[in-house]
Structure 1
Amino acid sequence: MGETIPIAVPRKGRPLESVLDRFARRFGVEGLADEITSTLRHEKAVTKGTLESDGDDVYRRLAEYSTVTDPRLPEYTLVRDDRAGKPRRIVFDSVTIPLDDVDGVPADTVVQLVGREEPFRALRTHEFALGFDSADLVLEEVVELRPEPLDRIADVNARIDPADSDVRVVTGLGDTVFHTLMATPDVTPSAESIDRAFLERYEGPLCIEPRYERLVRAVLGTKTLAGIEFQYPADGREEEAAIAETGIGVYLTMTGSTAREHGLVLGERLFPSETVLLENTPEVTETVETIRGLLNGADLETELAVSS
């Protein structure tokens, strides 16, 4: 029996899809990746009420998905969704991927993808040597707050205190959206750019999501935030609408279309939000190092530039 290498992954959403896409491209498991993605998108639509469930309750569907005898088939589990009413939602649990035909990997080695609500925290407790999670969570958890700003994922490792965590960022997967500064036209004169330099002169409220407060402090730097007071969207209030009401704020954007619909002007992209490959350095064995190298690679179009 060969070695099993467990890897912590997100349970759902864009980060998990990015991880599955990476495994599909590197290990030829396109069919498996498509099956998991399709199942979870279907279940998300059922949870949101945009798709009928054909009368089956969530437990019956879960039993159908997870009544498997082959570990190479995916299993799922239930979590409480954070939507109104907190419905139960089917999410990814685990699957085993044999690496029999992969060059450089010892015979009979298998990778087991294990779903976790917050993979980064599972790595911090040494449950896993490798995992994937949002770069945001690393900033929210362990990076040092300094007067100077942080504007590249590549600089994150330098701000992790070795006494605080053994986890390090290896590379990003390129599924990038940005924490973007945005404001209404009346807050920023037309001749000025909406950027960090503007924020250094600005005094007043800045609208952000509460969960991103530490991230924003790290990204902007404590010096820039002098004279700035954080405000938060009211419960149920759309983020862009709350920023428009405040006049200026920071939120995630891909195209920026929703922000523009609320009359906001997009400013500087402050920091890239991206799914990242993480490692707990003391837990890395020779086999883990080989798999890490296979998951990394020059083909990744990432905002990250961290050497492994």
Structure 2
Amino acid sequence: MTETVRVAVPRKGRPLEAVLERFAAVAGVDGLADDVSSTLRYEKAITKGTATPERDVYERLAAYSDLSDPTQPEYTLLRDDREGKPRRIVFDSVTVHVDGAGPRSAVGRSSTDDGVTVELIGREEPFRALRTHEFGLGFDSADLVLEEVVTLGETGVESIADVNARIDPRETDVRVVSGLGDTVYHTLLATPEILPPGADLDRSFVADYEGPLCISPRYERLVRAVLGTHALDGVTFTYPDPAMEEEAAIADAGLGVYLTMTGSTARDHGLVVGDDLFPSETVLMENAAEAGPAAERLQAALTGADLETAIGPS
């Protein structure tokens, strides 16, 4: 018998796209994933002022949502945090089916299918929705887990196993299951002048370093968790001026940590690109107190062969 599992997902952006791509892989909903992603990219462009719509926001919302068919996506309106607080159309919900054995075949489900029906439900803060026991499964940024519930220690965090080991069970029942691999790395960056000849820009260099380290203020606790408190002895955090590019601020400080994909912008500022400390990726999380057998079967499908990744250097 098919059971239903409610899963909390982000409402927009790269994390939601990563979730949709994973469900496209395991449930054969490529068209749905492409439709939601393209719709939200268009709406983001409207919010940023780089696209001009022909219809007002309520007309677009009505056109996008099909309330008569739960397998078609629904959207909702939120106030964006940009100047003027414009209304922004974001993802609300959709229902998909995941077969017990993996991706659905072209001829559909068999009569013996033991898969699960999945309700993907948008939340502004999926991780916190799991912490308050609203859901048994959900997806959110690994950054948020590190920022909120990972205990700081002398040694740093390098893997999903490290993350879960550092979560105080008295703090939350939520644990990280797997990463989705949508990797934008938190990377060490430095000016050539502070590196001794032949030195590698890695965790051991930071452990021996004394001086300023430039980071975004929101990532201070995250950087402490990942590098470990011992490596940060003698390090003073500095923060970029809001009007300044992060890479330029790091070049002024000499050493920093910033999100990078290729490192090309950092190199344009004369910076050496060092170790990828850990990926800022979307992760599947479980609240074990709320997840039942159907959720466990869904987990198995979502984390099958060639799908699982780990938080830490590759």
> Normalising to structure 2: TM-score of the pair?
0.90
Q: Residue deviations 1:48-81, cap 9 Å, x none? A: 2222212x22232122223532111111122233
Partner of 2:21: 21
SS in 2 for 1:120: helix
Structure 1 distance, partners of 2:172, 2:112, is 30
Matched, 1:59 2:66: no
Structure 2 distance, partners of 1:103, 1:295, is 22
Unpaired runs of 5+ residues, structure 2, are 100-108
Matched to 2:33, the amino acid is A
Matched to 2:60, the amino acid is R
Q: Residue deviations 1:155-211, cap 9 Å, x none? A: 211111111111111111111221111011222234322222221222221111111
Partner of 1:42: 42
| Cα distance change on mapping 1:79 and 1:221 into 2, 3 Å | same
| Cα distance change on mapping 1:111 and 1:301 into 2, 3 Å | closer
Matched, 1:285 2:284: no
Question: Contact 1:106–1:287 (CA<8 Å) still a contact in 2?
Answer: no
Question: Contact 2:27–2:98 (CA<8 Å) still a contact in 1?
Answer: yes
| Cα distance change on mapping 1:281 and 1:21 into 2, 3 Å | same
Give the deviation of 1:7 after TM superposition. Answer: 0.2
| Cα distance change on mapping 1:18 and 1:210 into 2, 3 Å | same
Partner of 1:78: 77
| Cα distance change on mapping 1:290 and 1:57 into 2, 3 Å | same
SS in 1 for 2:194: coil
Question: Contact 1:105–1:291 (CA<8 Å) still a contact in 2?
Answer: no
Question: Contact 1:99–1:105 (CA<8 Å) still a contact in 2?
Answer: no
Give the deviation of 1:2 after TM superposition. Answer: 6.1
Question: Contact 1:152–1:272 (CA<8 Å) still a contact in 2?
Answer: no
User: Which of 256, 266, 283 matches 1:276?
Assistant: 283
Q: How does 1:148-159 map to 2 (within 5 A)?
A: 148-159=155-166
Give the deviation of 1:245 after TM superposition. Answer: 2.0
Q: Identity percentage over the alignment? A: 65
Structure 2 distance, partners of 1:263, 1:102, is 58
Matched, 1:171 2:171: no
Question: Contact 1:145–1:221 (CA<8 Å) still a contact in 2?
Answer: yes
Question: Contact 1:150–1:220 (CA<8 Å) still a contact in 2?
Answer: yes
> Normalising to structure 1: TM-score of the pair?
0.92
Partner of 1:140: 147
Partner of 1:87: 86
Q: After superposing the two structures, state which structure 1 stretch, 17-26 or 57-66, moved more.
A: 57-66
Question: Contact 1:105–1:290 (CA<8 Å) still a contact in 2?
Answer: no
Residue correspondences, number: 303
SS in 2 for 1:144: coil
Structure 1 distance, partners of 2:110, 2:235, is 53
| Cα distance change on mapping 1:187 and 1:87 into 2, 3 Å | farther
For the aligned residue pairs, the C-alpha RMSD in angstroms reads 2.1
Question: Contact 1:27–1:102 (CA<8 Å) still a contact in 2?
Answer: no
SS in 2 for 1:156: helix
Question: Contact 2:214–2:257 (CA<8 Å) still a contact in 1?
Answer: yes
User: Which of 110, 120, 124 matches 2:117?
Assistant: 110
